[in-house]
Amino acid sequence: MDSITVFFASMLAALALAAAVVLVLRKSLRSILIDLCGNERRAVFWAVFSSVCLVLATLVAAMLFPPALGSNPTNSEIFQSALVTFRAGAIGLLIALVAVGLMIASFVTLQPSRDDMMGIQQHGNHAITRAPTQAQPQQR
């Protein structure tokens, strides 16, 4: 197996990991972004943007460590080389995932949800409207 084959195989494995993470997070990310963005069009854009960033960060990080195999590498050298490239891609994915998570968390703590703004509290399948929290001025 030559260096190019090892490189592409390990990059493909890292990209498969990134795709799996994107698929697992897709539904939750979209619902959080709909709540934060206020409408579905904006939320879809930011969900796609975040997904692309996760995949590209994985790809770029994996490309930073191409295999350096000699003319006749052993199986151990091939495995170690592929592992280094895959590990770099996984670290890039983790860094991008933490960055996206921190950005979303910062907006979640800054902005109340739409349900909070409308005074609605969910209990099971029933929505309960909460009483206003501010004291109303008494009219005479």
- DSSP string across 6-50: HHHHHHHHHHHHHHHHHHHHHHHHHHHHHHHHSSHHHHHHHHHHH
**What three-state secondary structure class fits 109?**
helix
pLDDT digits (tens, 9 = 90+) for 44-100: 999 999 999 999 999 999 998 877 777 777 888 888 888 999 999 999 999 999 999
Average pLDDT, the chain: 82
pTM equals 0.71
Query: Averaged over 96-116, what is the pLDDT?
Result: 80
Instruction: Name the more confident of 10 and 112.
Output: 10
Give the Cα-Cα-Cα angle 49, 86, 26 (nearest 5 degrees).
30
- Map out the domains of the chain as residue ranges: 3-129
